[in-house]
Structure 1
C-alpha cells in the first residue's frame, strides 16, 4: 500500500471514483473542462498496485482569524471504493494529510463532514453553523426611502472583494477569497447581483441572488451598515410582483433579521456546517492576540491529540503584557496540568464558537475553577462563520 499524490495521467481513475462515491455523472463536455483544470498534486490517494483505493483533495487556502489571514488546509472529496471501506484507508489518508499540512505551515484545517462523529475521532470539530430563512413576500422588511442608490449586475469584481473582506474579517473562520475562487466557486451565469452605494458613491453592501420558481434565492447578503441593509432589502422588496417568497442561505449564526421584521414568525432553520481542526497548536496559539488576564499570566495545558503527536502533551501557556502568547512544550505528567482538553475542543474555544465555561460545564474541558476562569477571561469574544463550500 502506497500513499502519494496523483499524476496527470490518473485523472480518469480519480474521476471514476468520485462519480461512484458521490453518485453523479459528468457529461462529456464537463469532463473536458474538468480535465483541463485538474490539479493532480492537490489529491492524495492510497494505491494498491496501480489502483486507487481511496483519495482526498487537500486545498491550499487561507482563512481569517482575528481579522488576519492564516494558512489553512481544506480537505475535500474524501472517497473510497465500497470494497475498501472499514479497512482504515481514510484514517491513513487523514493522518498523512495532517503531517503534510504541518510540514507546509498550514496551522488549521477545515472540512465539510459526510458524518460528524467520524471526523471527530480524528480531531476535527464543528466550528460554525448557519441559519436559513424563508420569508413570504408579505413578511419582508418594510420598504424605506433610502439616501443612496442600488446598481444591479455590476461587473466589477473588486467591489465585491472589498465589501466581502470588510464583512468576512468580522468573523473567525471565513475564507479569504482569491479572484479565481470568486470566478469558479462564487459567481456563475445564473447569479444576479446588486450593490448599494452611499450618496457619496461609496459601495457599502451587496446581495448575490437568483430567481428560481417565483422565489428569490439569496446566496449572500453583505452589508457594512444599517443604511446599506435597508437599501438592499428595499431593492429586494421591489420584486414583490415577480415572486412569492425569499430564501436566505448561509446566514451567519449571529444574524438578528427576525427581530427586525414587522412579523418575526418566519421559517428559520439552523445547521451545523463546517468542521475545523488545529494542525499545529504552538503556531496557532502564538499567532493570536489574547486578553491579558489579571494576576497570573501562566497556566499549564494538557492537549490530547492522538493523530498529531507534535500537539499531544503538556504545554506552558504564557501571556505577555501586550496579549501575545508563548506556547512551550514541557515534560511532566498529565496530572500536573491546570487545564485539559482535546485538540477539537481547543480549536472551537480559540476560534470563539464555544466558551471555556460552557465546555467545562459539559465535561469537554477539565481543570480547576480558577484555571477555567483564567481561560474564560483569556479568550476574546468572537463569532464564527463561513459563506463558502468545498
Structure 2
C-alpha cells in the first residue's frame, strides 16, 4: 500500500469516486460520473491524498486552504473534507494514516488551525479536534413579520441573482472574516462555484451605501418555503431591513427558514414572532463542526484577557511541550524554558482538544477537566478563564 498526493485529473477516479459512494445515493449513473469533471476547477488548490493498493483506491482525504478568525486574528486554516474509504477497506487504519500525513503537510505549509465536519465526532476527538456550535435554523411564517411592513427603516436593500452580485457577497464575507470569531471562508477558486452555479438569490442591506447585511436564498415553490442560508449582519438594522423584505412574501410562501449563529436570539426579534429554532445534530449526515490548533504559534499575539498560567500540552504530535501563557499585556505571549516557571504561575495539563476548546471559547476550564481533556486545578482554571473568556465561534463555511 502507498500514500500519495493525486493530481487534479486523478481525482475523477480516486477521491471523487470514493466520496460519491460515501456521501451520495448510489450506484451513481454514468451521467453523474461525467459531472465530476465540472468540479475540478473548484478543487484545483486542494491537497488530496489517497491510500492505494495496486490500482485500487482504498481511502482518500482532502484539505482546503482556508482562513479563519480566532479571537480577532485571521489565521491560515486547513479545512479537512472528502474523508472516505472503500467499503472493503474500512476500519483498517487507512484514514488515520491519511489524516496524520495530510495535517503534517498542511502544518508544514503554515496552516495553524484545522476544522472539519465529522462522520463520527469521537473518531476525530482522538486527533485533537473539539466540537464547535452548529448554526441554528429559525423557521417562521412571513405573516408574523407584518409589523415591519409599515416601518420606515433607514437604509435600503438590494436584490439580484448571486451570479450578478457575487463580488459584493465575497467582499462582505471578507469583512465578516475580519470581524467575527470562528468565521472562516473558502479560497476564491472554490467560492466562485456559488457564482457559477447561480442557483440563489442574493439579498443585501445597505446603510450609507455600505453593505451591512447579506443572505442568499431560494424559494422551492409557490405556497412553499423561502429557504435562506446564513443570515450575515453587522447590526440589528441590517437584520430588520432583510426581515422586512421577507415579509413582502406573505402571499407567496407559507414558511421562511434562515440559518443563524448559535448566539442569535430570534425569539427577541419581534413581539408576535412565533418561531421554531433548531440545531439538529445526528450521525451520520447532520454533524456539528469540529476544530483544533495545529501549531502553538497560532496563540502568539492573540487578543486575550490578563491571565497568566503555565500549561503542559501532552499526547499530541503537533503541540506537545511546556509553555507559559502570559496575557498581562492584552496580547498572548508564549514563553518557554526556564523563564516559564518564573514566579511559580499556576499550572495545568491539557490535551490538544483541551487547549483548542479554551482558545475557541467553547468550554470552561472546569469542563475541560470534566471531559477528560486535561487536569486543571482551581487556581489554573481561574487564570485560563481570564485568558480565554467563553465566546461562541461561528464557522460559517460548510465543507
C-alpha distance in 2 between matches for 1:37 and 1:151: 28
Partner deviation per Cα, 1:147-203 (whole Å, 9 max, x = no partner): 2222211634343234333334343221134443432147742211122223x3333
Instruction: Label 1:367 to 1:149 Cα distance change in 2 as closer, same or farther (>3 A).
Output: closer
Q: Distance in 1 between matches of 2:46 and 2:186?
A: 21
In the alignment, structure 1 residue 314 sits paired with structure 2 residue 322: yes
Change (3 A) 1:313 1:68: closer
Deviates further, 256-265 or 122-131: 256-265
What residue in structure 2 maps to residue 151 of structure 1?
Answer: 158
Equivalences, count: 378
Structure 1 residue 20: Cα displacement = 2.2
Q: 9-18 vs 105-114, which deviates more?
A: 9-18
Q: Say whether 1:23 aligns with 2:30.
A: no
> Which residue of the partner structure matches residue 80 of structure 1?
85
- How far the C-alpha of 1:219 sits from its partner, in A, is 0.6
Shifted more, 157-166 versus 32-41: the winner is 32-41
User: 2:51, 2:60 within 8 Å by CA — same for their partners in 1?
Assistant: yes
Select 2:334's aligned residue among 308, 312, 326: 326
Is 1:235–2:245 an aligned residue pair?
yes
Shift of 1:327: 4.1
Q: Return the alpha-carbon distance in structure 2 between the equivalents of residues 85 and 337 of structure 1.
A: 44
> Which residue, 154, 169, 184 being the options, matches 2:193?
184
Which is further off, 178-187 or 111-120?
178-187
> Which sits farther off after the overlay, 50-59 or 2-11?
2-11
Q: 1:285 to 1:236 in 2, by over 3 A?
A: same
Contact 1:66 1:169 in 2 (8 A): no
- Quote the Cα distance in structure 2 between the aligned partners of 1:329 and 1:171: 34
Change (3 A) 1:108 1:328: same
Please give the alpha-carbon distance, in whole angstroms, between the structure 2 residues aligned to 1:358 and 1:238: 46
Aligned residue in 1 for 2:265: 256
- 2:302 corresponds to 1:288: yes
Cα gap change, 1:261 to 1:65, in 2 (>3 Å): same
Residue 344 of structure 1 aligns to a residue in which SS? helix
Q: Match of 1:279?
A: 294
What do the CA deviations read for 1:232-290 (whole angstroms, capped 9, x no partner)? 111110011101110112x100101112232354222124521101111x212214122
Name whichever of 81-90 and 137-146 sits farther off. Answer: 137-146
Q: Which residue of 2 aligns with 1:47?
A: 52
2:146 aligned with 1:109: no
Describe the superposition over 1:206-239 as per-residue Cα deviations: whole angstroms up to 9, x where unpaired: 2211111321101132222222221111111001
Residues in 1 aligned to 2:39 and 2:291: alpha-carbon distance in whole angstroms:
28
Structure 1 gaps, min length 5: none
Q: Which runs of no fewer than 5 residues in structure 2 stay unpaired?
A: 282-287
Superposed displacement of residue 65, structure 1: 1.7
Contact 2:313 2:321 survives alignment (8 Å): yes
3-state SS, counterpart of residue 93 of structure 1: helix
Match of 1:65 in 2: 70
Task: Verify the 8 A CA contact 2:65 2:79 in the aligned structure 1.
Answer: yes
The CA distance in 1 between the partners of 2:270 and 2:364, in whole Å, is 30
- Alpha carbons 1:58, 1:75 under 8 Å: kept: yes
Question: Quick one: structure 1 residues 364 and 16, their matched pair in 2 at CA, closer, same or farther if it must change by over 3 Å?
Answer: closer
Gap change, CA 1:322 and 1:387, over 3 Å in 2: closer
* Deviation per residue, 1:2-60 (Å, 9 max, x gap): 21101355334213222222234362552332356553862101122333211101111
Partner in structure 1 of residue 170 of structure 2: 161
Residue 133 (structure 1) aligns with? 138
Q: Aligned in 2, Cα 1:360/1:142: closer, same or farther, shift over 3 Å?
A: farther
- 1:304 is aligned to 314
Partner of 1:383: 392
